């Protein structure tokens, strides 16, 4: 067989395999997520429960005094985040508040000593009790709203629901940080200097990069998307991701620009 033809056939097979994988991933991911959610729910079956219009909160008795605060803040930002990202959850969103950081780590298979203020996984938002990281009781509500994880993790929830797990980490982090900025005026990494990471580095080496600078770069890119193309573009990109397209394909379909050239233009 002609070598050039063979290479072309291999290339076509590769392209179709990638498209097929993305499509299958987006199709079956919700079922995989449901299994993971059920496991997590079982691990907190003895927690108490409080509810608001759009959220269910699981908590331990020692955190009962924080339940209204958590649910009020979640409801306060529900409309803004759902409108920005173009999706309203069909069911109430589950939030689990942990008074024991080690149990939270165990439930999410994190290394002992890991200090995550908030996490999103398998359709569940998990947060540390404010008592574990806020020392100033007088300003606790304000600190929890502006510096806490509710907006950030709720944004992750929506991206995951719509995109069906089909997205790079940096993109969902950038969106979550953009929502913190739009909802609470928090500008991640403001004033920090560093060489801007490339699209390739963000796509394939995100967890190896300097964490603060990687998050800052992700935020800058997604914020620039919202400024140049509007929030509608981000909503459309997330929707196409949920249909199985790659981020690069989704971005091009929405904007007519290549993602690499756009990222390279942001210094």
* Alpha-carbon dihedral angle through residues 160, 32, 95, 159, given to the nearest 10 degrees: 0
Q: In the chain, which stretches have pLDDT less than 50?
A: 1-21, 24
* Alpha-carbon dihedral angle through residues 128, 133, 138, 140, given to the nearest 10 degrees: -40
pLDDT at 10: 31
**Within a domain: 79:** yes
pLDDT at 259: 99
Q: Which residues pair with 98 in a beta bridge?
A: 128
Domain boundary among 101, 134, 160: 160
In terms of domains, do 223 and 138 share one? no
Q: Whole-angstrom Cα distance, residue 126 to residue 36?
A: 14
Domain boundary among 140, 160, 180: 160
Tell me the residue range of the domain where 258 lies: 164-267
Q: What is the pTM of this model?
A: 0.89
Place of tokens 């080690």: 102
Q: Whole-angstrom Cα distance, residue 114 to residue 94?
A: 22
In terms of domains, do 156 and 188 share one? no
* Alpha-carbon dihedral angle through residues 105, 109, 115, 118, given to the nearest 10 degrees: -80
Q: How far is CA 173 from CA 46, 124, 212, 219, 221, in A?
A: 31, 16, 11, 7, 11
pLDDT at 25: 67
Cα 136 to its chain centre, rounded Å, is 28
SS3 sequence, 17-40? Answer: HHHHHHHHHHHHHHHHHHHHHHHH
pLDDT at 11: 34
CB-CB contact of 33 with 115 (8 Å) = no
Q: How many domains does the chain have?
A: 2
What would the pLDDT profile of 148-197 be if each residue is shown by its tens digit? 999 999 999 999 999 999 999 999 999 999 999 999 999 998 888 888 99
pLDDT at 109: 80
What CATH number has the domain bearing residue 49? 3.30.2010.30
In terms of domains, do 130 and 227 share one? no
In terms of domains, do 169 and 66 share one? no
Place of tokens 């929890």: 144
List the one residue out of 219, 243, 239 whose CA is nearest residue 171: 219
pLDDT at 119: 95
CB-CB contact of 104 with 98 (8 Å) = yes
pLDDT at 140: 95
């Amino acid at each position: 067989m002609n070598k050039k033809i063979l290479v072309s056939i291999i290339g076509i097979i590769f392209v179709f395999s990638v498209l097929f994988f993305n499509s299958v991933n987006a199709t079956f991911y919700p079922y995989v997520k449901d299994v993971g959610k059920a496991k997590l729910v079982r691990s907190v079956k003895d927690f108490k429960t409080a509810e608001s219009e759009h959220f269910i909160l699981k908590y331990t008795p020692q955190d009962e005094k924080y339940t209204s605060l958590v649910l009020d803040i979640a409801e306060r930002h529900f409309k803004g985040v759902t409108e920005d990202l173009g999706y309203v959850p069909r069911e109430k969103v589950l939030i689990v508040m942990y008074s024991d950081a080690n149990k939270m780590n165990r439930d999410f298979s994190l290394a002992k000593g890991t200090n995550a203020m908030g996490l999103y996984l398998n359709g569940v938002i998990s947060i540390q009790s404010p008592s574990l990281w806020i020392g100033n009781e007088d300003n606790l509500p304000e600190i929890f709203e502006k510096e806490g994880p509710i907006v950030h993790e709720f944004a992750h929830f929506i991206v995951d629901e719509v995109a069906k797990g089909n997205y790079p980490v940096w993109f969902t982090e950038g969106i979550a940080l953009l929502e913190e900025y739009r909802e609470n005026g928090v500008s991640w990494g403001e004033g920090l200097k560093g060489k801007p990471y490339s699209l390739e580095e963000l796509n394939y080496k995100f967890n190896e990069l300097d964490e603060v600078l990687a998050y800052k770069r992700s935020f800058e890119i997604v914020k620039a998307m919202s400024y140049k193309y509007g929030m509608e573009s981000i909503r459309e990109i997330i929707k196409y991701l949920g249909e199985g397209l790659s981020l690069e394909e989704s971005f091009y379909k929405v904007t007519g620009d290549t993602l690499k050239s756009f990222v390279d233009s942001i210094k």
